[in-house]
Structure 1
Amino acid sequence: MSDDSGVERHGTDAAVVEIDPSAVQLLATADRNGVVETMHHGVAIALGVDGEVVASLGDPSVTIYPRSALKPFQTAAMLSLGLDLPDRLVALATASHAGARLHLDGVVEILSSVGLGLEALGNTPDRPLDPTEREASIVAGRSPSSLQQNCSGKHAAMLVTCRINGWPLDDYLDVEHPLQRAIVTTIDGLGASVRHIGIDGCGAPTHALELGEMAQALRRLALDDSPVLAAMSAYPEMVAGRTLDDTMWMQAVPGLAAKRGANGVMALVRTDGRAAVLKVADGSDLARRVATVEALRHLGVDVDGEHRATTEQMAAPVLGHGAPVGTHRAAPWK
C-alpha cells in the first residue's frame, strides 16, 4: 500500500526488495587462534565538517532499516508538534533503554504528565534489555510488559504528543495516523527520503532510508542545534544503559550523540556536523561494536589515545573453553 506521496507503506505480500551483494564490503572479521573464522560485511559512511564524505565502505546509497537509530528523528518530529519534556526525558524518548529503574520511572513520568497510565502503551510486551535487569525481573516474578520493553520511552512520548494535539490514542501506531505521517514529513524534510515503511519489533512504524542520506540528515540536526541531540549527549544513561556502547561513548566524548539500532546499525553525530552511519549486513552486534570504533576514528575521536580505555571496553573476544582465543576486528574504511 502507498499514499499519495508514493511511499510504500508496508505489507507482507509485496515482493522482497533485494540488496545487491556488491553494495556491501568487508566490515569486520573474527579470528579463532589466529585464523579468521567469521567475516562480516556491511555499509558505512563518515561525513566531515563540510558534509563531504571523508570515509566510506560499500555503497552508501543502499537502503537500510535504521531501526532504533531512527529515534532522534522521531523525537525531533514530536518536539516540533509540541512535546515539552525536560532534557532527561527527551533523551528517554529517544532511547532503547536497558530497563533500569530510572528508565521505568521516567516512562511513568512522561505518561503522567498528561494524565495517562501504563495501559495506554501499545508497544510489544517484553522483559528488560539489560541481562541483569532481565534476570531481576524474572526473579521478582514480573511478567513481560510494555513498560519494561526498551522502546517504552518513545511510545510514551508518542502518546503524550497525541494527547497534546487532540489526536486519537488507540491507533497511534497506525501508519496513517497524523503522528506517524508527521514523522515521515520530518524525516523527508531533513533530506532523508522515506523509501518504505515497515513495522518495527516494538510495533511502531519503522522507515527505510538511504544510508548516506541518513548521515546527512543527522548532520542537519546537529547544525540546527537540535534539542534532541543535546539531550542525548547530556543524559547518555537515559538513552541506553551503563553496559551499552552508545551510552559509554557519549559519556566519554563530550557533545557526541550516538544511537544504535537493532540488527547492526549505529548512528553517530558531533556538534560540528561530523556524522557517521554504519550497517552490518548480517546484523552482528559484536561486529557493530568494533566497527563503531572505526567510525569514531573518522569523526576525529582519539580512540587510540585519549579514549583508549573506552575503546578497550568495546573489545569483542572470541572464546574457547571460556577463555579469549581471538577477537573481532574492524576493517579499515577508505
Structure 2
Amino acid sequence: MSDGYRGGAVLAEVVRSGFAESVHRGSVVVLDAGGAPVAVRGDGRGPVFPRSSNKPLQSVGMLRAGLRLDDDADLALTCASHWGEDVHVTRVERLLERHGFAGADLHCPPDLPAGPAVRDEALRAGQAPTRTRMNCSGKHTGMLLTCRAAGWPTDGYWEPAHPLQRTLRATAEELTGEPVAAVGVDGCGAPVFAFSLTGMAQAFLRLVHAAPGSFERQVADAMRAHPRLIAGTGALDTVIMTDVPGLLAKGGAEGFAAVAVPGAGAVAMKIDDGNMRAIPVVLRAALGALGVAWTPPPSPVLGGGHIVGELSSTW
C-alpha cells in the first residue's frame, strides 16, 4: 500500500492510568487556504493509496465526461462510502432503475451493510449480501451512468484502460497536481490511484474553492448538502460535515482522511497501521492549526466494560 511512502511520526497514543500504552504512527499534511504548508508530520510527499478519498475527484471526472443527474443527492451518492442503510440502498436502486440498469450490472462485489447497526439487523433478518448494499455501489452506479452518457461501452468499465477510467485518472491528476504514482485495485474492484498527502490536500482545496457552478464545486456542494448519504448515521464524514458548516470530508479505508474548509485550508492524513480510530483525534489537532474548532466524539478505551483510558493526539 505504500509505493514509496516512508511512514511517519507518532500521531496518537492510547493512555491508561497516565501511561502511554500504545501508539499510532502516520503522516499528516496541513495546508493553508492558499495551499502553503502550515504543518507536516511524517511523509507528506510519498505516494499512498487514498482509497475512497479519491471518490470526489472521480465524480468530477464523471461530470466532465457527461454525467448529468437531476438531484444533487444522487451526485453525493457517487462520492459515498455509504453504510448500506435503507436511505442509501433505495436511492442506488432507484437511480439504476431509472436508467435501465439493475444491481447485477454493478461490478462491485455483493456485501452486507458496512454500518454496524444495520449490518447486525441484516444478519438477524438472514439477509444475503447484495451489490447495492456494498459501500461503493453509488460510485459504480455513477460509472455506469457516465458510460451511458458518453456513449462508451459498459462492459469492462472498471478496467484501467477503459475510456472512463482514463478520464477519471486524468481528472484526478489535474486536481492533485501530480501524476498517478501507482494504480491498484480497490476493494470494490475499480482502479485506485496513488497520490501524496500534499496532492490530496491540494485537490480538496480546489474542490471547495472552485467557482460556483463548476463541476468541482458541484461535487463539493452536493457532498456538504447531503452528509448522511456520504457515509451514514454516526460515521465520521457524516458527523464532521454536519458539525462544521462548509467543511468537506471524505475518508478512505486503511486509515486515510482528507478534509477542506473554504477560506481556512485542508488536511490529508494516513495512519500507518490502517486503524481508523486515530483519525478523529489527529484531525481535531490538525484543524485546530487552521483555526477551525471541532470536538470529535469521545474515544474511551474500555477494559472489562469500564473506561480505563483514552486515545489522544500527540500533536
- Normalised by the shorter chain, which TM-score bucket? over 0.9
Write the mapping of 1:2-21 to structure 2, written as runs, cut at 5 A: 17=3, 19-20=5-6
Q: Is the 8 A contact 2:3 2:47 kept in 1?
A: no
Amino acid at match of 1:297: G
With normalisation by structure 2, the TM-score equals 0.94
Structure 1 window deviating more from structure 2 (151-160 vs 56-65): it is 56-65
Partner residue in 2 for 1:66: 50
Partner residue in 2 for 1:7: none
Separation in 2, partners of 1:90, 1:148: 17
Partner residue in 2 for 1:189: 174
* 1:228-270 deviation digits (Å, cap 9, x = unpaired): 1111111101100111011001001111110111011111012
Q: Within the alignment, does 1:212 sit opposite 2:198 as a pair? A: yes
Q: Is the 8 A contact 1:110 1:157 kept in 2?
A: no
The sequence identity of aligned pairs, in percent, is: 40
User: Alignment partner for residue 228 of structure 2, among 230, 237, 241?
Assistant: 237
User: Alignment partner for residue 89 of structure 1, among 74, 77, 81?
Assistant: 74
How many correspondences in the alignment? 308
Q: Shift of the alpha carbon at 1:328?
A: 0.7
Q: Shift of the alpha carbon at 1:273?
A: 6.3
Q: Within the alignment, does 1:180 sit opposite 2:169 as a pair? A: no
Secondary structure of the structure 1 residue equivalent to 2:194: strand
Separation in 2, partners of 1:124, 1:291: 32
User: Alignment partner for residue 203 of structure 1, among 186, 189, 198?
Assistant: 189
RMSD: 1.6
Q: Is the 8 A contact 2:208 2:262 kept in 1?
A: yes
Secondary structure of the structure 2 residue equivalent to 1:269: strand
Partner residue in 1 for 2:13: 29
Separation in 2, partners of 1:246, 1:326: 25
Q: Shift of the alpha carbon at 1:220?
A: 1.6
Separation in 2, partners of 1:227, 1:112: 24
In structure 2, the CA distance between the partners of 1:54 and 1:236, relative to structure 1 (3 Å rule), is same
Q: Within the alignment, does 1:317 sit opposite 2:303 as a pair? A: no
Write the mapping of 1:26-175 to structure 2, written as runs, cut at 5 A: 26-85=10-69, 86-175=71-160
Q: Shift of the alpha carbon at 1:26?
A: 0.8
Amino acid at match of 1:172: Y
With normalisation by structure 1, the TM-score equals 0.89
Separation in 2, partners of 1:192, 1:72: 16
Partner residue in 1 for 2:265: 274
Q: Is the 8 A contact 1:26 1:41 kept in 2?
A: yes
Amino acid at match of 2:209: L
In structure 2, the CA distance between the partners of 1:299 and 1:124, relative to structure 1 (3 Å rule), is farther
Separation in 2, partners of 1:245, 1:30: 20
Separation in 2, partners of 1:273, 1:66: 22
Q: Shift of the alpha carbon at 1:294?
A: 1.7
Partner residue in 2 for 1:331: 314
Q: Which runs of 5+ in 2 are unaligned?
A: 212-216
**Structure 1 segments of 4 or more deviating over 6 A?**
none
Q: Is the 8 A contact 1:51 1:273 kept in 2?
A: no
Secondary structure of the structure 2 residue equivalent to 1:172: coil
Secondary structure of the structure 1 residue equivalent to 2:123: helix
Separation in 1, partners of 2:187, 2:304: 34
Separation in 2, partners of 1:299, 1:240: 25
Separation in 1, partners of 2:154, 2:184: 20
